[in-house]
Amino acid sequence: MATITTGHNAPTGFTSGEVVTATKLNAHVNSATVTGIVNADVDAAAAIAGTKIAPDFGSQNVVTTGSVTAKDATVQADDSSAAVYTSRASEDGGPPYVVFDKARGTQSSKAVVQSGDQCGQLLFRGYDGSTTVSSAAIACYVDGTPGANDMPGRLVFSTTADGGSSLTERMRITSNGEVNFGTANNISVSTGTDDGATFYSSFSTAGVFQASNNNNYVAFFRRRAGNGGVLGFYRDTTPVGNIAVSTTATAYNTASDYRLKQNVEPMASGLAKLAALAPKTFEFKAEPNVKVDGFIAHEVQEVVPHAVTGEKDGEEMQGLDMSKLVPVLVAAVQELSAKVTALESAQNQ
């Protein structure tokens, strides 16, 4: 039963303060405008046609075994098919939304969020036999100082390891588009001690990908069947080399197909170039007291320019491709062989 509260205008057919029975309420509810009903029990079979209800439940829990639907968003309460559905049918490309709003302060007096505040989280949990335990999560954080129409954000993906009891971050996407795997920090192979991998968005300064691992392989590349390339290298759209494997070996190949070349002629002055090379014995500063035989890059550059990358005293350290010296050695040996053959012929005459 319900009571029409004193002080309110009673709907048609009721008197203020009257105790209303279900029978009388059902008889008048379709045509009455009912206001001020307190603690009313609504029969399961009751229906209020053409009327919209906007209840305020305060701090109470709303429990239902059916569905709660509002503007094409549905919360399915049935345990056998529990789900949250949101759909949108419109003549535009707009999506349905699941929105998380975060502010500091209170609902009536909101304040600006700060860097590091969590804006929302999707939490996935499972029952372990005694309690519900977190298995994975996707969280959004403020990733910098907010400003007017400026809300930098990052996404953090976490999982719980087998045998673990808490979430561990596995991947994050930062506000500037960098993607970190296995670490919260960007991986830089030239600095820092973190292990993991980072895809960079600022390619011009850091490269696209950097990875680090302590006392183990950084990466594996596998060709499952047949001999051939595992990694290919391009200069713009032109293939310039690859790393290939066979059953028992690895080949480091630079582009050499005749179809890529022109103005081909025999190499000359192999002995002169060989004589101009200046082999050295030295120690690397990073590994003192270890003697190494080799060359100084800028000295080789004067003799075989294409064997060296970078410029002397440039921003990047120079590098030397020893394989580019092989043609010089072959040409020199061939010249020496020709001289030996000529001398032997002269002696035999």
Query: Nearest Cα to 184, choosing from 211, 203, 156?
Result: 156
* Residue 14, CA distances (Å) to 10, 24, 39 in order: 6, 9, 17
Q: What ranges do the domains of the chain cover?
A: 1-53, 66-99, 112-212, 228-260, 270-348
Give one word for 110, left, alpha or beta, with left for phi > 0 and alpha for psi -120 to 50: beta
Order of strands, sheet of 83-86, starting from the edge strand that comes earlier in the sequence:
67-70, 73-76, 83-86
| pLDDT (0 to 100) of residue 57 | 59
pLDDT at 25: 61
Measured CA distances, 53 to 33, 109, 195 (Å): 12, 28, 57
Task: Return per-residue pLDDT of the chain as tens, 349 residues.
Answer: 555 554 455 556 666 666 666 666 666 655 545 555 555 555 555 555 555 555 665 666 666 666 666 666 666 666 777 888 888 899 999 999 889 999 999 999 999 999 999 999 999 999 999 999 999 999 999 999 999 999 999 999 999 999 998 999 999 999 999 999 999 998 988 888 899 999 998 766 667 899 999 999 999 999 998 999 999 999 999 999 999 999 999 999 999 999 989 999 999 999 999 999 999 999 999 999 999 999 999 999 999 999 999 999 998 899 999 999 999 999 999 999 999 999 999 888 7
Q: Rg of the chain's alpha carbons, rounded to an integer?
A: 39
Query: For position 51, what pLDDT does the model report?
Result: 55
Residue whose pair of structure tokens reads 């229906």 in the numeric block: 47
Q: Would you say how long the chain is, in residues? A: 349
19, 24, 30, 35: CA torsion to nearest 10: 0
**Quick one: pLDDT at residue 191?**
85
Q: How large is the greatest C-alpha to C-alpha distance in the chain, in angstroms?
A: 143
**pTM of this prediction exceeds 0.85:** no
What pLDDT does 86 receive?
Answer: 87
